Structure 1
Amino acid sequence: MKRNYFSILSLLGLLGLASCEKVLDKTDLGSVNGSLIFKDSVLARMNLDYIYDQNLPASWGGTWGTRPDLSDESSGESKFFEGTLLVNDVADFGTALNATNNYGKIRVINTFINDVNGGTIAQATKNRLNAQAQFFRAWRYFDLVRLYGGVPLVTKPLQAVGVEARDAAFLSRNTTTETYKQIVSDLDSAMLFLPGKWGSSDWGRITKGGAAALKGRALLYAASPQFNPTDDAAKWQASYAANKQAYDLLVANGYGLHASFDQLWFQEANNPEAVFLTGFNTSTGDQTKKNNGYDNSTRPSYAGTAGGSNQPSWEMVKAFPMKDGKKVGESTKYTYSDQLFYKNRDPRFDKTIAYNGANWPLNGNTSYKLWTYFAGGKTVETKASNTGFYTRKAINPTVGVSDVQYSGTDWIEIRFAEVLLNLAESACGINSLEEAYTHLKAIRKRAGIEAGTDGLYGLKANMTRAEMFEAILFERQIEFAFEGKRFWDLRRWKLIEKTLNGKRRTGVTINLKTTGVPADFATTRDNVDLDVAYTNYFTIVTKQLDTKYAINWKPEYYFFAIPQSAIDNNPKIIQNNTWGGGFDPLK
């Protein structure tokens, strides 16, 4: 993105704008009253822009970043997978007087809504401003509930001074059901006043369909086994209704799957797949700079100034199906072998995984080939990939080394593809399996998977409800690889132990053989047939990436502990029952 859509100026900076002299002339800026701000729609909108800046996902992969190390996508040491998580380790709850933690952000939002309502700007303008703020309040509470279960619900700014104000701020935790109800209420209210689509100058702001999509995601979580261990049909019905509403609203306003799975990241205004996004820019200045660091940190280090993060595990590489949509080992049309792992795979494979010998346009070089092998025990890379692979999703091929640290590629938190798969999963939840098939096939068709003679794009015919759920989660693993979704999917389905416990993720070392290799291979390799090279010149050796411990996720991690500092700060907060307290996060 070449410019910011949302100002990140502080309030004092806003008050100093020359264009606002009509409001602030001869006013003490050190003690400005909110009523002055909300007489002026320009100033009110600038305050809203601050809320956008504070609450939009700040990095690639959402609120927790990509974190592929918390799944089977990649590796990385963590207390979560070591099984040593302590009560204070998930500190997203926030107790300090800080505008950057969850409750600090909620206070800013509540104050904004209160002041907008007390201002004198037109009611229609108030409604639209408040609708956007309510979306972000729902976003904050969704972040909290999926971590901890029910939390104290604060919808009005609390007083900050005095003993009575302190005592009034000692709020008990609302139930998980009440927390989800508040999220839905805020999003329903937001949808009443948000547009279906903004004009190009406001592209990237929250739309009616974006609010509906977040509601659909939230209620899908509420229906998932983490929150719905009894498979309550009413929760699945509510999830289906919400996701169908999101789908209908978005389609009616021109949203849909982008034509290209890999190029969807590089279209900005009017991108049909971008439902909820964070805009980044290419600025090198200090005041409006908001660069996306993902590209620079993910590409190989010699192709950027940092590089080498988000390296795919061997498990992730082997997870992709074949071109006919069948899983590895299940296809009767395409044979899989570890030695030729890259052959005849789902087209999303080559658009997600960068591997030894792959053609990977980088730095404007459309014929560039990536080599990650070892020769004579030494890497041919400047710095070797730890897994043998790189992630190539959303790496801009035209941006060069000197500019990549200023990448402006936007992060799409909710893609239309997610809306489709959320709807498919919800449809499966209510036993509408044919509808689930329809949405899964749409995703696979866009991916380029072969339709097959049955037109099922590799999907098994006549799946049961359980088989369909499994197929949808598998599709999400492939479609959303390295988009920060896999951990949350495994967690909400309570599948982390089954999928990962007792295992160690692996990578590969690709070695050049010491005999039978042409003497000039290092200089001619770009012109060698890749199948010939892998068959005759390379050996593939697997290696453990988790060297210190086997993965040991514990059941109590499905609802993290409320930090003890929050309990010390508020004696009415009760700890989750899975961490020794009396609060049941399933109620």
Structure 2
Amino acid sequence: MNTKIFKLFGFGLMSGIVLTSCSDSFLEDKKSYDYVSPDAYNDYTGALLRVNDIYVRCLPDVNDDIKYWNTSTGSNDNAGKSTEEYSGLSDFVNGTQNPLNVMSGTKVPDLFFGSMNNVRENTYGHIRNINEVIEGISGSTLSDEEKNELLGQCYFFRAWRYYNMVKFYGGVPIVTEVQDPVEGVVNPRNTTKECIDFMLDDLDKAAKMMAESTMNGGAQEYGRVTTGTALALKGRVLLLWASPLFNRDNDQTRWQNAYTQMKAELDSIKACGYGLYTDGDNVNGSTFARVFTQCQNANPEAVFVTLYNNSNIDGDVAKNSRWERSIRPANTSGSGKTASAMLVDMFPMADGKRPATANTYTKLDASSYSYDKEYPFMNRDPRFYRTFAFPGFRWAYQGNSTLAEDQPNSPSYNNGQDYELWNYVWYSSEEDRDKVNGGDEYGADNLLTDVQGVYVRKRSDDLDINSSPLYANFDATNTEKGGGGFAFSAQPYMEIRYAEVLLNLAEAACGAEDMAYAVQLLQQIRARAGYTSENNYGLQANLASDQAACMSAILYERQIEFAYEGKRFDDCRRWLLYDGGQYFSQIDGAPSAWTLTGWGGNTCTWLGFTPLNGQRRENMYFRVNNDHSNGVGGTTYDSDPIADVERCAAVDLREDLTTQLETLKTWYADNLVRKDKKGDGQTSQQVDLYINFLPRYYFLGLPQGALNNMASVDQTIGWEDPHNGGANGTFDPLAE
């Protein structure tokens, strides 16, 4: 297969093209379930095409929310809205009002199976496809070198498929042979321990097989998985097994095993060319921001990456990322995502410490900087300014959104190159102005009712940090395929970054009681963010001697470093952060072994973490204050109550922030006031609802569709079993 085409498509060749665009005769004998003649595997190109098909099905897709085949990628989906990142009670945290069930009511989300009627659209169809390719390549006449290169990729993706099930369900059926979906096939659930061992074995094989072709400093084809990718996922699996979710008695052998293996294999990951992305121009977190825009050359941070292109050709050729369009404001042809006030308020201050008003991590030192919630942009961690966007901040792009028919009143800001976000709001009546649970906001600069509160800026292709935008086909007039100037973007998505490799290892080191080494790894992450040794990279002094404080610092660092990357929900579940894991005895049928005995019987208390259950997330807006027409205006773009007030210069992240932020603070004080508006829901009687993640949600029940079509599979304890008239399930995810 032409390497240049492969890179252009970014693994975007749909299997229809993979199997029909080549004229080679060995592809003519394809049958149902993507079957091809065994002879196809005797030709390296044919075997490679089948491996490419696995990429198409199994790579994470930034454009899809969490579902049976796709991990969360940072959007405001069910996973994102179950964390501090977004407001809005998701299916998982709305337990009091709409508890999840299998047979009736609010159905448990299907993160396991998918559609039975299409082998391409269910998890075990994907696994079947991988097994078929493994069998085909193993029995081929390819050289051992070619076999190893290709089989290593297959074993990685099989482990990846299982990882995404096991983390939610515990043990699932292990299938290693090609099985057609016919009556009589029986695949009972394996134990979680068996699944863990199976994944580790696949990943060890993958790492070994790919070593010769990928442990060469990064010369392999960018975007393909490598030995380093396999070992990084192996670290995740080991960490999952050692975490409180599966390790209720804090078995130290699991932590030590994870630490020993992960530390020993770090050099092999580095040998594949991976490392923290750095450059020589780290201004206000610019290096951190550039991590997400490196596409043309191999990005050392991208351990497991999905590539995209900016083609606007109809059909299967275009494989575009829609992330940029989803976060950009409506007056730039985007839509925008609202960050919850909870995460904004708990982000570190400029000295690396938590705000004194944020009591989520009580074993971590409070900042010496005072935090004024009216001016949340003052004196923050450098990553803060690359994660959120407020009124009065520059956010440049390349293109003219005013050409679009629905945006003629939007300011051009020099074709986007000098774009400033002014998303302050006003209301059409004093009654709406004072409501916390209703009333339309009208945003400045023609944002009107499409305005968001604090915008998610994370992973933005900001013109000021990337002068060659990845959305090369910016066209505000284009309405095809979703339209909009950022619709055709080649921005890659990184499922595993090297920063995660380091933080996974830091967590394992801390769990194994080598806190000094864990602190060294934290320092590396903080150094890239912009901290220096002068204040110990913003880390408090006792982390090397206090295990609970050290683990709390690691989880806090993960939360900040990986905000809006789809990682937080997994961390909240692994560490039982909704309730500390103290209520497992309330689950119907839960064995005594489910009781948390490690960490003092409550992970939240041990960590000094305020449980998420019982809290609310609101949205933060900045409205025109009452000194200006009582904060009331009209409903059109030209009815801004402070239209005649001269704006201060927008904050430019390319320059020193000290004076700029003080100037913006003064402008806010004269013209704006913070308004926290309802984020999480309320009852019909306008009574606030709170996060309520039920204990049984830590292990999900299998969806009814999967159970109906897999009669040999037992339901999880705590969930109703359609096979048995709705009686309680019997499968124990903790039994070995």
TM-score (normalizing by structure 1): 0.92
Single out whichever of 344-353 and 360-369 deviates more from structure 2.
360-369
Deviations 1:293-338 (A, max 9, x none): 111112112212x4123x2111111111111111102556422111
- SS at structure 2 position matched to 1:540: strand
Q: Is the 8 A contact 1:2 1:408 kept in 2?
A: no
Residue from 33, 47, 52 that aligns with 2:50: 47
Single out whichever of 325-334 and 7-16 deviates more from structure 2.
7-16
Q: Is the 8 A contact 1:92 1:101 kept in 2?
A: no
Q: Is the 8 A contact 2:425 2:622 kept in 1?
A: yes
1:210 aligns with 2:261: no
Cα offset, 1:16, TM superposition:
5.1
Closer/same/farther in 2, CA of residues 313 and 334 from structure 1, 3 Å limit: same
- SS at structure 1 position matched to 2:495: strand
Deviations 1:15-64 (A, max 9, x none): 5523x24x46xx65669852121121101101100100100001268613
Closer/same/farther in 2, CA of residues 197 and 379 from structure 1, 3 Å limit: same
Closer/same/farther in 2, CA of residues 583 and 63 from structure 1, 3 Å limit: same
Residue from 322, 325, 328 that aligns with 2:349: 322
Closer/same/farther in 2, CA of residues 75 and 376 from structure 1, 3 Å limit: closer
Residue from 565, 568, 578 that aligns with 1:486: 568
Runs (5+) with no aligned partner, structure 1 = none
- Which residue in 2 is equivalent to 1:346? 381
1:239 aligns with 2:258: yes
Cα offset, 1:461, TM superposition:
2.6
Alpha-carbon separation, structure 2, partners of 1:469 and 1:288? 45
- Which residue in 2 is equivalent to 1:196? 215
Closer/same/farther in 2, CA of residues 370 and 522 from structure 1, 3 Å limit: farther
- SS at structure 2 position matched to 1:189: helix
1:63-462 equivalences in 2 (<5 Å): 63-66=71-74, 67=77, 68-83=80-95, 84-87=99-102, 88-94=107-113, 96=116, 97-161=118-182, 166-167=183-184, 169-194=185-210, 195-197=214-216, 202-259=221-278, 260-268=287-295, 269-285=297-313, 286-304=315-333, 306-309=334-337, 311-329=338-356, 331=366, 333-363=368-398, 365-375=416-426, 377=428, 378-380=442-444, 381-384=446-449, 388-398=453-463, 399=471, 400=474, 402=476, 403-453=485-535, 455-462=536-543
- Which residue in 2 is equivalent to 1:570? 710
Q: Is the 8 A contact 1:356 1:371 kept in 2?
A: yes
Alpha-carbon separation, structure 2, partners of 1:90 and 1:156? 28
- SS at structure 2 position matched to 1:539: strand
Q: Is the 8 A contact 1:40 1:121 kept in 2?
A: yes
Q: Is the 8 A contact 1:2 1:283 kept in 2?
A: no
> Which residue identity lines up with residue 100 of structure 2 in the other structure?
L
Alpha-carbon separation, structure 2, partners of 1:203 and 1:318? 38
Runs (5+) with no aligned partner, structure 2 = 1-5, 279-286, 357-364, 400-415, 429-441, 464-470, 477-484, 580-609, 630-639, 651-662, 683-688, 720-727
Instruction: Work out the number of aligned pairs and report it.
Output: 575
Cα offset, 1:504, TM superposition:
1.8
Deviations 1:328-379 (A, max 9, x none): 0255642211122101100000010001212222336454221121235433
Cα offset, 1:523, TM superposition:
6.2
- Which residue in 2 is equivalent to 1:534? 668
Alpha-carbon separation, structure 2, partners of 1:390 and 1:54? 32
Cα offset, 1:503, TM superposition:
2.0
Deviations 1:116-143 (A, max 9, x none): 1122222221121111001000000001
Alpha-carbon separation, structure 2, partners of 1:52 and 1:526? 49
- Which residue in 1 is equivalent to 2:698? 558
> Which residue identity lines up with residue 292 of structure 2 in the other structure?
W
Residue from 1, 5, 8 that aligns with 1:3: 8
Alpha-carbon separation, structure 2, partners of 1:547 and 1:564? 28
Alpha-carbon separation, structure 2, partners of 1:170 and 1:316? 46
Closer/same/farther in 2, CA of residues 116 and 376 from structure 1, 3 Å limit: closer
Deviations 1:529-548 (A, max 9, x none): 20211222211122221123
- SS at structure 2 position matched to 1:112: helix
Single out whichever of 6-15 and 422-431 deviates more from structure 2.
6-15
Single out whichever of 96-105 and 497-506 deviates more from structure 2.
497-506
Closer/same/farther in 2, CA of residues 532 and 480 from structure 1, 3 Å limit: same
- SS at structure 2 position matched to 1:510: strand
Q: Is the 8 A contact 1:363 1:401 kept in 2?
A: no
1:546 aligns with 2:680: yes
Alpha-carbon separation, structure 2, partners of 1:524 and 1:12? 56
- Which residue in 1 is equivalent to 2:405? none
Alpha-carbon separation, structure 1, partners of 2:145 and 2:191? 34
Single out whichever of 60-69 and 480-489 deviates more from structure 2.
60-69
Q: Is the 8 A contact 2:336 2:452 kept in 1?
A: no
Runs of 4+ in structure 1 off by over 6 angstroms are: 516-520
- Which residue in 1 is equivalent to 2:407? none
Closer/same/farther in 2, CA of residues 578 and 197 from structure 1, 3 Å limit: farther
- SS at structure 1 position matched to 2:675: strand
- SS at structure 1 position matched to 2:304: strand
> Which residue identity lines up with residue 52 of structure 2 in the other structure?
D
Single out whichever of 58-67 and 37-46 deviates more from structure 2.
58-67
Single out whichever of 146-155 and 264-273 deviates more from structure 2.
264-273
- SS at structure 2 position matched to 1:475: helix
Q: CA RMSD in A?
A: 2.5
- SS at structure 1 position matched to 2:393: coil
- SS at structure 2 position matched to 1:323: coil
Cα offset, 1:386, TM superposition:
6.7
Percent of aligned positions with the same letter in both sequences? 36
